[in-house]
């Protein structure tokens, strides 16, 4: 096969001592920036970009992409240990990862998260290896109506899941949407809800909100109850890794589903964040034991991590093949490509074989090396829970502040983070779920833009969402998802069984 | 909330019901304010689709409606009245973290992040953790120095700096 | 307006006359801490690419004694970055790479920003606008496109561009007035998005900068109909198959008599000393001579420029008047 030949050529390019060393350095740096809230992914890559200017493009992309893999792995660590997402896409990992850590299963949760990341990435890389041209042309079929339908599908797979009172879910969703709308409106070119303030011009950044809502509020809650994080000290042995692995084949369906969701959303820039939420929600919806999600179920860690990493990896494909970045990090890498004198686009695969296949080969090797490195550090990270609360808490607050600041270099964002911390604390205590807000905040303005772009022109009207097979299928799927609880009940009634609809129980919130 | 370990020993500062009503009322206020602002920039449906204020306006309406439902249901729910939102001593502990955090952010603005985090970490460990002073100061010092080395020296990340860094020419 | 581009020597003289001393020897002021390049645009966009290239060229050629840091402040179409610069008076460690947002934002959004409150340093390049259609479209010239449009109801052709009430939108409105046609203008977040949407046939036309469409042009997925300038671009090397940038005819020759170019210029905050300005002019003067910068210009098909000092201010004033006029005609000015 031609792809295999090219791939082996890529391995040949990669397997020099120099490149292998760069790879290891990249992964370790990546894990480091991934662990610090707010500093991972795009920021980490952007910070390290200047180091690569004097390197040849292949070495440079190996270093940077390995930082990316490292950050992808590292984001899960603080989510599980402290309920503080190190990366935006690991918000969904906190839902079950943190409860697992509280039960003393931190090592199992970390192992599951890392392995799931690995599976997701590898599936996405294989997709890139063998189907790159086909996928690139598939992505081209996405116009505004298709994008809107995808966002709808993400929302609809979410609504109706929580057990919280309906009005509280609505409150959470609408706040998220409203926050997302602050700033410049793309379609009309007008400023909305900025009230003449310069600080509000940039709108609300997702990461700042997440760091406050989850990170700061968790420290306040921990303080209120025990003056400690609730993570149990776990006895950590390497056998944990092996034992956890033994249980994984049982969840092949979850892994497969999440990989597929992730690849799809990564290629059609829905992004890793949307993918992680959708992966989690669908796993919960289709699980035989959906009610126990949110209480520390390993499936709830596997599903979002697999999806996020499949998306994060496949997001590189549109960047390389079309020149449009599928994620923030991909956008920074795109800038890097230009600096090294490469022109991303359809011809990159033809003209820069060494570079492209070197990169793809580094995705395989980088992920394998990354998995080994992070697994080896599981005991180290899990032992962080043994550090006294009074020592670790201020350090977490400081790194939250650094993260919030670094997102947009704005002092105001640190204050904003504190504000979101209070909101998160109060909302968690009065039972307003935070997950719908974060989802709406990240996808809200994209969905609105896509909807309004669809409405422009002579064919603009609601019919456009069923105007061809592709968009019609996605829209219909979205509606099925929306009414799934009803459909599930109907199916149960037909079967005559007494059990309740699978989706109608349990909460998406991290607090039991 | 019912799993609060302090129930019974910690007198209530405020009930969940009061907090819920206050939060909902605040949200209602926000909704009215935003709704009005979006109406101002145009919340209709123009020939080329919804105007800039269309979605935010109806979202504000939804938010307002949901807050009203929230107020009513909180008032009609008798259990909530007795449920403790936070106990006195628990709230005291929360403030013991939150007030220093606010001071820390304020310090960042005045004297820069590195010095502020040294003071914050060291004092937090001494006052709240009751750890030995020299250990605390040393931890704070190492932590800040390490951050400075990583962010400023190695990677040129421009974090807020103050007079001390300036005195050393950074 | 490009005939008015002066030669390098004339620009130097003009800069000297305007009071900025450009000495050929080392400037009196030197930075002692990292210099921040503020990019008032999102990651991966044309301004970001330019900043990264400058960062690389300056560091590789050791043009600055201290490192260069790129900071993205793309909120509100760059309004965030511009306001930040305006608020940083006297700080010689911040420079901004700006485009025509310095005129459009105050006009369309009443943003309290005025480029006169910054210190203009130099314009490094001008970006062209090209009329692009899908490669499978039946028309090969701008006339054929206009004729095809006149056969369809008004608004049947979708034209995609970056943002609303900005350069692409203004240009589209000007073409509409000159040719007597009507587009449905679809605002996207970036030129890259407008490029792929054109390839996917979700829009019929875009007016992207050369750099935004070059990848898909080379892959034979789009066709260039004409360039909105007085003369064809001066890059004769073959880029897309047997086509070079120079082969693209001017829109004027195709019956759309309209010129439209966009500056890519560098500003410092207000209140910096002449010494500091001289340092930056000296550094940027060396920058445009580097191999990296020249390659970058050719790759992005940018028009070289060496406007600075008084000439630059004069250009900015004329350009702003042009924007104001066009935006008023199109009804884009906020009242």
Of C75, C87, C218, the CB nearest to A183: C75
Distance of CA A511 to the CA centre of its chain: 20
Helices A166-181 and A435-455: angle between axes, nearest 10 degrees: 60
How far is the alpha carbon of C202 from chain A, nearest alpha carbon, in Å? 6
The pLDDT-based confidence of C131 (bands split at 50, 70, 90) is: very high
ipTM of this predicted structure: 0.91
Evaluate whether residue C239 is within a structural domain: yes
What φ, ψ does residue A246 adopt, rounded to 5°? -60, -30
Answer yes or no: do C104 and C173 share one domain: no
Structure confidence by residue, pLDDT tens digits, A232-263: 555 556 677 888 888 888 899 999 999 999 99
Q: What b/e sequence results for B49-62 when a residue is b if at least 16 CB atoms lie within 10 Å of its CB, and e otherwise?
A: bbbbbbbbbbbbbb
What tokens does C30 get?
Answer: 């030197």
Beta strand B45-46 pairing with B49-50: antiparallel
Q: Identify the closest residue of chain B to A221 by CA–CA distance.
A: B94
| C299 part of contact set with chain A, CB < 8 Å | yes
Q: With a cut of 50, say whether residue A441 has pLDDT above it.
A: yes
B120 touching chain A per CB within 8 A: yes
- In this structure, the answer to whether residues C242 and C159 fall within a common structural domain is yes
Structure tokens at A149: 């339908």
Residue A508 is predicted with a pLDDT of 37
A30 compared with A181, residue with greater pLDDT: A181
More confident residue, C102 or A72: C102
Is it the case that residue B4 has pLDDT exceeding 60?
no
Q: Is C75 on the interface with B (CB under 8 A)?
A: no
C242 and C298 both lie in a single domain: no
pLDDT, tens only, A261-277: 999 888 776 677 888 88
pTM: 0.85
Which chains, if any, share at least 3 CB pairs under 8 A with chain C? A, B
CA of B37 vs chain A CAs: smallest distance (Å): 7
C123: closest CA of chain A, how far (Å):
20
Of B48, B156, B170, the CB nearest to C67: B156
Among the partner-chain residues A323, A331, A456, the one whose CB lies closest to the CB of C215 is A323
Q: Does B23 touch chain A (CB under 8 A)?
A: yes
Check pLDDT > 70 for residue A226: no
Name which of A284, A22, A262 is nearest A125 in CA terms: A262
Domain holding C153, by residue range, is 130-254
Best to test chain B binding among C30, C31, C32, C34 (most B CBs inside 10 Å): C34
Instruction: For residues C277 and C310, state if they share a domain.
Output: yes
Per-residue three-class SS string for A44-67 = HHHHHHHHHCCCCHHHHHHHHHHH
Task: Assess whether pLDDT exceeds 70 at residue C244.
Answer: yes
pLDDT, chain A, mean: 82
Whether C206 and C144 map to the same domain: the answer is: yes
pLDDT at C12 over 50: no
A410 closest CA partner among C275, B70, C81, C298: C81
Q: Which residue of B has its CA nearest to C33?
A: B170
Residue from the list A42, A186, A457 with its beta carbon closest to the beta carbon of C189? A186
In a domain, C335, yes or no: no
CA A315-A320-A323 angle, 5° bins: 95
Residues C134 and C249 placed together within one structural domain of the fold: yes
pLDDT higher than 50, residue A335: yes
Q: Which residues pair with C206 in a beta bridge?
A: C132, C160
Query: What pLDDT score was predicted for residue C63?
Result: 94
C27 shares a domain with C67: yes
Interface touch A394/B38, C-beta < 8 Å: no
The predicted pLDDT at position A506 comes to 39
Helices (H), C180-231: 191-199, 210-218
CB contact at 8 A, B55 and B67: no
> Which of C224, C254, C284 is the last residue before a domain boundary?
C254
pLDDT score of B1 more than 80: no
Kindly indicate the confidence band of residue C249, based on its pLDDT and cuts at 50, 70 and 90.
very high
Contact C34 B48 (CB under 8 A): no
CB–CB of B169 and C32 under 8 A? yes
Query: Taking CB atoms and an 8 Å cutoff, what residues of chain B touch C33?
Result: 169-170
Assess if residue C219 is contained within a domain: yes
Bridge-partner residues for C38, per DSSP?
C71, C96
Beta strands in A439-510 (DSSP E): none
Model pLDDT, residue C186: 94
| pLDDT tens track for A157-211 | 776 566 678 889 889 999 999 999 998 888 888 888 988 888 888 888 887 888 8
- Tell me, yes or no, whether C279 lies in a domain: yes
Q: Are residues C162 and C242 both part of a single domain?
A: yes
In this predicted structure, what is the pLDDT of residue A234?
Answer: 52
Among C32, C34, C184, select the one facing B156 at the smallest CB separation.
C34
Let me know: does A82 contact A40? Beta carbons within 8 Å. Answer: no
CB contact under 8 A, C73 and A339: no
Query: What are the tens digits of pLDDT across the range C28-65?
Result: 899 988 999 999 987 777 888 899 899 999 988 999 99
**What pLDDT is attached to residue C9?**
43
CA distances, A374 to each of A38, A118, B123, C221 (Å): 20, 11, 33, 43
Chain B residues touching residue A430 (CB < 8 angstroms):
16, 19-20, 23, 85
Look at residue C158 and tell me if it is in a domain. Answer: yes
Contact with chain B for residue C24, Cβ under 8 A: no
Q: Identify the domain boundary among C199, C225, C254.
A: C254
Query: Residues C141, C173: one domain?
Result: yes
Q: Which residue has the higher pLDDT, B111 or A16?
A: B111
d(CA B138, CA B160): 22
Q: Which helix (DSSP H) or strand (DSSP E) does residue C171 occupy?
A: helix C167-179
Contact residues, chain C, for B153 at CB < 8 Å: none
Mutation site, B151, B158, B161, interface C, largest C CB count within 10 A: B158
Say which of B60, B97, B129 has its CB closest to residue A220: B97
Q: Please state, in angstroms and rounded to a whole number, the distance separating the CA atoms of residues A475 and A492.
A: 25
User: In chain B, which residue's Cα lies nearest the Cα of A461?
Assistant: B49
The per-residue pLDDT for range A394-419, each reduced to its tens digit, is: 988 998 898 888 878 889 999 999 99
Q: What value does the mean pLDDT take over residues A443-464?
A: 87
With both helix axes pointing from N to C terminus, report the angle between A252-267 and A106-140 in degrees, rounded to the nearest 10: 40
**Residue C5: pLDDT over 60:** no
Check residue A160 and give its pLDDT. 59
Bridge partners of residue C162, in order along the sequence: C188
Please list every residue in chain A whose beta carbon sits closer than 8 Å to the beta carbon of residue C109.
184, 189-191
Looking at residues B111-126, what average pLDDT do you find? 94
User: Which of the residue ranges A227-231, A335-339, C328-332 has the most confident prediction, judged by mean pLDDT?
Assistant: C328-332
pLDDT tens, residue by residue, B22-41:
999 999 999 999 999 999 88
For residue B8, how many other CB atoms are within 10 A of its CB? 9
Cα distance from A373 to chain C (closest Cα, Å)? 30
Query: What does the alpha-carbon distance between residue C237 and residue C260 come to, in Å, rounded to a whole number?
Result: 23
Of C32, C69, C184, the CB nearest to B156: C69
pLDDT-derived band of residue C19, with 50, 70 and 90 as boundaries? very low
- Give pLDDT, residue A39: 64
Residues C135 and C150 in one domain: yes
| B108: closest chain A residue by CA | A411
State how far residue A503 is from chain C, nearest Cα, in angstroms.
36
CATH of the domain at C321: 3.40.190.150
pLDDT for A511 equals: 35
CB atoms within 10 A of CB C43: 25
Percentage of chain C with pLDDT > 90? 72
In chain A, which residues have their Cβ closer than 8 Å to the Cβ of C165?
Answer: 189
Count of domains observed in chain C: 2
CB contact (8 A) between residue C34 and residue B170: no
Taking 70 as the threshold, does the pLDDT of residue C24 lie above it?
A: no
Which of B34, B62, B131 is facing A390, going by the closest CB pair?
B131
pLDDT digits (tens, 9 = 90+) for A36-86: 665 666 777 777 777 777 777 888 888 888 888 888 788 788 888 888 777
What is the mean pLDDT of the segment spanning A29-37? 76
Mapped onto helix, strand or coil, the DSSP state of residue A40 is coil
The Cα of A58 is separated from the nearest Cα of chain B by a number of Å equal to 22
**Shortest alpha-carbon distance between residue A448 and chain B (Å):** 8
**By CA distance, what is B52's nearest residue in C?**
C164
Given a cut of 60, is residue A510 above it in pLDDT?
Answer: no
Boundary (domain end) residue, out of C214, C237, C254: C254
Cβ-based contacts of B16 with chain A (< 8 Å): 429-430
Q: What is the pLDDT of residues A84-130, one digit of tens each?
A: 777 777 888 988 998 888 888 888 898 999 999 999 999 999 988 88
* Choice between A47 and C239, residue whose per-residue pLDDT is larger: C239
Residues C277 and C180 placed together within one structural domain of the fold: no
Probe site for chain A from C34, C64, C196, C241 (most A CB atoms < 10 A): C196
What is the distance between the alpha carbons of residues C197 and C186, in angstroms, rounded to a whole number?
10
Do C49 and C71 fall within a single domain? yes
Return the CATH number at C160.
3.40.190.10
Which residues is B161 bridged to in the sheet?
Answer: B112
Q: How many CB pairs under 8 A join A and B?
A: 166
Is the C-alpha dihedral spanning C120, C123, C124, C125 positive or negative? positive
């Amino acid at each position: 096969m031609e792809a295999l030949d090219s791939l082996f050529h890529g391995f040949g390019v990669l397997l020099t001592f120099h490149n292998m060393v760069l790879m290891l350095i990249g992964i370790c740096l990546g894990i480091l920036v991934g662990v610090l809230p707010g500093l991972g992914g795009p920021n980490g890559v952007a910070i390290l970009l200047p180091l690569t200017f004097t390197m040849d493009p292949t070495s440079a992309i190996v270093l940077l992409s390995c930082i990316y893999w490292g950050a992808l792995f590292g984001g899960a660590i603080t989510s599980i240990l402290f309920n503080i997402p190190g990366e935006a896409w690991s918000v969904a990992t906190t839902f079950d990862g943190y409860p697992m850590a509280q039960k003393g299963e931190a090592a199992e949760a970390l192992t599951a998260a890392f392995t799931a990341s690995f599976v997701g990435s590898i599936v996405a890389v294989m997709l890139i290896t063998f189907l790159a041209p086909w996928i690139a042309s598939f992505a081209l079929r996405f116009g505004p109506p298709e994008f809107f339908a995808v966002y709808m599908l993400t929302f609809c797979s979410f609504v109706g899941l929580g057990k919280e009172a309906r009005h509280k879910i609505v409150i959470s969703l609408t706040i998220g949407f409203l926050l997302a709308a602050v700033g410049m409106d793309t379609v009309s070119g007008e400023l909305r809800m900025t009230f003449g303030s310069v600080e509000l011009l940039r709108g609300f950044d997702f990461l700042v909100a997440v760091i406050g809502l989850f990170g700061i509020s968790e420290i306040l809650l921990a303080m209120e109850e025990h003056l400690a994080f609730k993570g149990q000290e776990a006895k950590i042995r390497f056998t944990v890794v092996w034992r956890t692995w033994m249980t994984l084949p049982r969840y092949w369906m979850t892994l497969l589903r999440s990989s597929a969701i992730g690849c799809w959303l990564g290629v059609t820039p829905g992004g890793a964040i949307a993918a992680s939420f959708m992966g989690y929600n669908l796993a919960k919806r289709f699980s035989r034991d959906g009610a126990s999600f949110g209480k520390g179920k390993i499936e709830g860690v596997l599903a979002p991590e697999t999806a996020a990493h499949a998306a994060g990896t496949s997001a590189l494909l549109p960047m390389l093949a079309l020149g449009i970045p599928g994620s923030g990090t991909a956008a920074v890498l795109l800038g890097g490509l230009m600096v090294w004198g490469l022109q991303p686009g359809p011809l990159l695969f033809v003209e820069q074989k060494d570079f492209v296949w070197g990169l793809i080969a580094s995705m395989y090797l980088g992920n394998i090396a990354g998995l080994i490195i992070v697994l080896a550090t599981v005991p180290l990270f899990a032992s962080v829970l043994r550090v006294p609360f009074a020592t670790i808490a201020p350090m977490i607050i400081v790194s939250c502040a650094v993260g919030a600041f670094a997102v947009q270099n704005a002092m105001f964002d640190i204050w904003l983070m504190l504000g979101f911390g209070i909101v998160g604390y109060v909302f968690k205590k009065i039972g307003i779920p935070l997950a719908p807000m974060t989802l709406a905040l990240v996808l809200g303005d994209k969905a609105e833009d896509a909807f309004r772009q669809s409405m422009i022109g002579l064919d603009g009207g609601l019919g456009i969402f069923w105007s061809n097979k592709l968009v019609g299928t996605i829209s219909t799927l979205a509606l099925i998802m929306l009414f799934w609880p009803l459909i599930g009940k109907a199916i149960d009634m037909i079967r005559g069984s007494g059990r309740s609809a699978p989706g109608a129980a349990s909460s998406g919130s991290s607090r039991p | 909330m019912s799993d609060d370990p302090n129930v019974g020993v910690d007198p209530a500062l405020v009930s969940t019901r009061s907090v819920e009503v206050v939060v909902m009322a605040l949200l209602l206020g926000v909704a009215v304010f935003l709704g009005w602002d979006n109406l101002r920039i145009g919340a209709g449906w123009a020939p080329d689709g919804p105007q800039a204020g269309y979605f935010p306006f109806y979202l504000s309406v939804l938010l307002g409606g949901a807050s009203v439902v929230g107020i009513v249901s909180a008032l009609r729910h008798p259990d909530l009245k007795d449920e403790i939102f936070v106990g006195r001593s628990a709230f005291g502990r929360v403030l013991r973290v939150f007030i220093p955090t606010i001071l820390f952010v304020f310090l960042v603005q005045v004297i820069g992040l590195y010095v502020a985090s040294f003071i914050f970490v060291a004092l937090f460990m001494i006052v709240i953790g009751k750890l030995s002073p020299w250990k605390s100061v040393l931890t704070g010092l190492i932590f800040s120095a390490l951050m400075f080395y990583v962010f400023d020296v190695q990677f040129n990340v421009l974090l807020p700096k103050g007079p001390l860094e300036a005195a050393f020419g950074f | 307006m490009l005939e008015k581009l002066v030669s390098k020597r004339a620009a130097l003289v003009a800069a000297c006359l305007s009071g900025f001393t450009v000495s050929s020897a080392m400037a009196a002021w030197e930075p002692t801490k990292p210099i921040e390049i503020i990019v008032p645009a999102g990651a991966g966009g044309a301004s970001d690419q330019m900043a990264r290239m400058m960062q690389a060229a300056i560091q590789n050629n050791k043009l600055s004694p201290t490192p260069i840091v790129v900071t993205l402040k793309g909120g509100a179409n760059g309004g965030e970055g511009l306001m930040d610069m305006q608020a940083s008076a006297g700080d010689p460690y911040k420079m901004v790479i700006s485009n025509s947002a310095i005129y459009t934002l105050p006009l369309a959004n009443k943003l309290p920003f005025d480029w006169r409150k910054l210190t203009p340093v130099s314009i490094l390049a001008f970006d062209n606008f090209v009329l692009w259609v899908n490669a499978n479209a039946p028309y090969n010239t701008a006339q054929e496109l206009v004729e095809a449009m006149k056969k369809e109801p008004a608004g049947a052709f979708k034209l995609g561009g970056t943002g609303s009430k900005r350069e692409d939108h203004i240009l589209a409105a000007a073409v509409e007035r000159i040719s007597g046609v009507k587009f449905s203008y679809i605002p996207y977040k970036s030129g890259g998005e407008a490029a792929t949407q054109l390839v996917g046939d979700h829009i019929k036309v875009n007016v992207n900068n050369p750099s935004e469409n070059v990848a898909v042009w080379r892959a034979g997925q789009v066709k260039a109909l004409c360039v909105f300038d007085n003369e064809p671009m001066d890059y004769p090397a073959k880029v897309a198959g047997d086509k070079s940038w120079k082969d693209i005819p001017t829109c004027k020759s195709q019956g759309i008599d309209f010129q439209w170019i966009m500056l890519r210029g560098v500003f410092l905050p207000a209140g910096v000393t002449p010494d500091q300005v001289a340092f930056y002019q000296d550094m940027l003067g060396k920058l445009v001579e580097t191999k990296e910068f020249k390659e970058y210009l050719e790759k992005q098909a940018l028009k070289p420029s060496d406007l600075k000092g008084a000439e630059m201010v004069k250009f900015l004033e004329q350009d702003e008047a042009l924007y104001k006029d066009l935006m008023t005609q199109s009804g884009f000015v906020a009242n």
